[in-house]
C-alpha cells in the first residue's frame, strides 16, 4: 500500500484572512494540483495573517501533527515589513534548499522585473518540503510550470519538475505529474 500524498496549502494574507477579499491562492493551487498530479492526494488548507509566529506555528503543525509531505505557501515574500513568510519558513526549517528560491526568481524575471525583490525560499523540515510561492494566481502557475513559448515548449523549467523526486528522496513517497503540463524529473534508477 502506497502512502497517500499529504499537501499543506497556506495562504498568507492579512486582508484575505480578515475577509476583506477572497483568497485566490489556495483555490488556484488546488485546481493546479488536481490537473497535474497523477496520484490521489489529501489537502490541509490554512488562511492566515502575515504574522511570523502564526506562520511558524502553522507550518510546524502541518509537518509535525498532520505529517504533510509537501507544503506550498502563497504570499508574503516581498521586501515589505509585513512580508515575513520566508523568515518564518527559515525559522522552522531543518535545512534550506536554495535552488528552489533561485529558480522561482529566474522564472518570474521572464515576466516582471520586480521578481528580483522576491525572497521566496525552499526548505526541508523533517521529511517535508516547504516552498514559498508568489501570491498571485498567474505567478503561482508560472512558477510551478516554468516559462513556455507560444507553442507550449518549455524554455525554463518550472520548480514542480523537481518536487516528485525530492519528495521521493525525503520520505520515499512516489508521485508523478502529467508530462504534457509539467514533466517531473528523476534519474532512470529512481523511476518506477
Task: Please give, one letter per residue, the 3-state secondary structure of the chain.
Answer: CCCCEEEEEEEECHHHHCCCCCCCHHHHHHHHHHHHECCCEEEEEEEECCCHHHHHHHHHHHHHCCCCCEEEEECCCCCCCCCCHHHHHHHCCCEECHHHHHHHHHHHHCCCHHHHHCCCCEEEECCEEEEEECCCHHHHHHHHHEEECCCCCEEEECHHHHHHHHHHHHHCCCCCECCCCCCCCCCHHHCC
CA 104 – CA 100 distance, rounded (Å): 6
The pLDDT tens digits for 62-121 are: 999 999 999 999 999 999 999 999 999 999 999 999 999 999 999 999 999 999 999 999
For cell 521566496, the residue is 120
The pLDDT tens digits for 13-72 are: 988 888 888 999 999 999 999 999 999 999 999 999 999 999 999 999 999 999 999 999
CA 79 – CA 81 distance, rounded (Å): 7
Residue 2 reports pLDDT greater than 70: no
User: Which CATH entry fits the domain spanning 5-190: 3.40.50.1110, 3.40.980.10, 3.40.50.800, 3.30.365.10?
Assistant: 3.40.980.10
Rounded to two decimals, what is the model's pTM? 0.96
Domain ranges of the chain: 5-190
Amino acid at each position: 500500500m502506497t502512502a497517500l500524498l499529504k499537501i499543506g496549502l497556506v495562504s498568507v494574507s492579512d486582508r484575505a484572512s480578515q475577509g476583506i477579499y477572497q483568497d485566490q491562492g489556495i483555490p488556484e493551487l488546488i485546481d493546479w494540483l488536481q490537473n497535474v498530479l497523477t496520484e490521489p492526494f489529501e489537502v490541509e488548507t490554512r488562511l492566515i495573517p502575515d504574522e511570523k509566529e502564526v506562520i511558524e506555528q502553522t507550518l510546524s503543525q502541518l509537518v509535525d501533527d498532520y505529517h504533510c509531505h509537501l507544503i506550498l505557501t502563497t504570499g508574503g515574500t516581498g521586501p515589505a515589513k509585513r512580508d515575513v513568510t520566508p523568515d518564518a519558513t527559515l525559522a522552522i526549517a531543518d535545512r534550506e534548499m536554495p535552488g528552489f528560491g533561485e529558480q522561482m526568481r529566474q522564472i518570474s524575471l521572464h515576466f516582471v522585473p520586480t521578481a528580483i525583490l522576491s525572497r521566496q525560499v525552499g526548505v526541508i523540515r523533517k521529511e517535508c518540503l516547504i516552498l514559498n510561492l508568489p501570491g498571485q494566481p498567474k505567478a503561482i502557475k508560472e512558477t510551478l510550470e516554468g516559462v513556455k513559448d507560444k507553442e507550449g515548449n518549455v524554455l525554463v523549467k518550472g520548480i514542480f519538475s523537481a518536487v516528485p523526486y525530492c519528495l521521493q528522496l525525503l520520505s520515499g513517497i512516489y508521485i508523478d505529474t502529467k508530462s504534457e503540463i509539467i514533466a517531473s524529473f528523476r534519474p532512470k534508477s529512481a523511476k518506477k
